[in-house]
Structure 1
Amino acid sequence: MKKFSINGVVVHSGFVPLKGFETKYCINRFGEVVKPSYVDKNGFLRKSKVLGQSLRGKGYPCVGLLVNGKQTRYSVHRLVAQTFIPNPDDKREVNHIDGNKMNNHASNLEWVTPQENVQHSFAIGLNKSPNRAGERNGQARLSDEEVLEIRESQKSAKQLSKEYSVSESCIFKVRQGVRWAHVRDDQKKEAN
């Protein structure tokens, strides 16, 4: 493997200085992060070392880099993207094109907006949208039957909000069909 020097630091070919850590770490297009060979303050040669990776809570590989003498964990896919992929539109998120969080090769990454990232996850089947409308939503405060009662009631929004322990805004939105739109007014008649 060929070697070259960056600021007196020996680096293997295929690796480039890691953006933001140019004098301390290098990275290649596969997401391998290396601490290059260097001579320490006592004059000893320290050999280059490929940094080990661990998984973050959501399954993304990360590496620990020293920042002001303190180790901080960084997601490998973001380091690869910041170093190898231009981001002219200043997009915030990095998407794995094939959906595989372990494939951090630069050719598999792209900068995206949060919305594009979510759309991509649905498009490739990573995110399946279960129908959790109404009662099937674990945080629902109303039942389908209560929604129908609210729509039929002649009481004020203030009275109904106290009765059902929801905000007046919620009552207005239920009546307008903005919330609980899946509940049709004819459902009560069908159930009887």
Structure 2
Amino acid sequence: MIGFKQCPYPYDRYAINEYDLALDLKTGEVIVPCIGENSKYPGWSLVKTGETKTKTVHVHRLKAYTFLENNTGLPFEDCQVDHLDGDKLNSYLGNLEIVIPQENKARAYRTGLRKDNNRVLLVNLTTKEEHDCYSQAEAARVLGIGAPRLCEVFSKFGNDFVYRNYHVKRML
């Protein structure tokens, strides 16, 4: 079992290694991950302790659960595992980080992995400091107003205007 580490409950019947192999400690079978029809992530078909049916477990999640420390303050079940390079197939441990859902979503916007958000460019008219905000909500925080208020301002003034000493431009 060199190179393998036993998984925590409820997958303690298995041990995994950094090369994405799972070892069934009960049968000795080595399990190779595969990508199912309805998933973008590689996974193993594993049986939870006390159950009889297999369940697909994503490689990146079980590797993070087994090898990484959860510093989020939330139970692992409420966390997400971020692929730092954005590649869902790269489950190298150095590429994985346990994060809260809000952080994972924000990173996806900042890195351009998610395209369903409106970036907003803010330029302070006094200091000329630029804020490239990944979302309207982030722009609202910089402006010191609520996101609903910023939506009202966009509705009233359009996508390019001056507000509270900032040049505001929504990038569509």
Class of the TM-score when normalised by the shorter of the 2 chains:
0.5 to 0.7
Tell me the C-alpha RMSD between the 2 structures: 2.8
Task: Answer 1 or 2: which has greater strand percent.
Answer: 2
Residue segments in structure 2 that go unaligned for 5+ positions in a row: 119-147, 159-172
* Alpha-carbon distance between aligned partners in 2 of 1:86 and 1:181, rounded to the nearest angstrom: 43
Structure 1 residue 89: Cα displacement: 2.8
TM-score, length basis structure 1: 0.54
Conserved 8 A contact 1:61-1:102: yes
* Counterpart residue type for residue 105 of structure 1: Y
Give the number of equivalent residue pairs. 123
- The equivalent position to 1:70 in structure 2, one of 31, 53, 56, is 53
Matched, 1:33 2:14: no
Residue 94 of structure 1 aligns to a residue whose secondary structure is strand
Conserved 8 A contact 2:20-2:32: no
Which residue in the other structure is 1:53 paired with?
A: 34
Deviation per residue, 1:27-77 (Å, 9 max, x gap): 0123322224x5xxxxxxx55322342237351222111131111121111
Deviation per residue, 1:161-180 (Å, 9 max, x gap): xxxxxxxxxxxxxxx96654
* Alpha-carbon distance between aligned partners in 1 of 2:82 and 2:54, rounded to the nearest angstrom: 25
Residue 118 of structure 1 aligns to a residue whose secondary structure is helix
Percent identical: 29
TM-score, length basis structure 2: 0.60
Larger Rg belongs to: 1
1:1-192 matches, cutoff 5 A = 11=1, 13-20=2-9, 21-22=11-12, 24-36=13-25, 47-55=28-36, 57-67=38-48, 68-91=51-74, 92-129=79-116, 131=118, 179-184=151-156
* Alpha-carbon distance between aligned partners in 1 of 2:95 and 2:157, rounded to the nearest angstrom: 49
- By relative contact order (CA 8 Å, sep 6+), the higher-ranking structure is 2
Distance verdict in 2 for CA 1:90–1:29, change over 3 Å: farther
Distance verdict in 2 for CA 1:119–1:179, change over 3 Å: closer
Residue 63 of structure 2 aligns to a residue whose secondary structure is helix
Residue segments in structure 1 that go unaligned for 5+ positions in a row: 1-10, 39-45, 132-175, 187-192
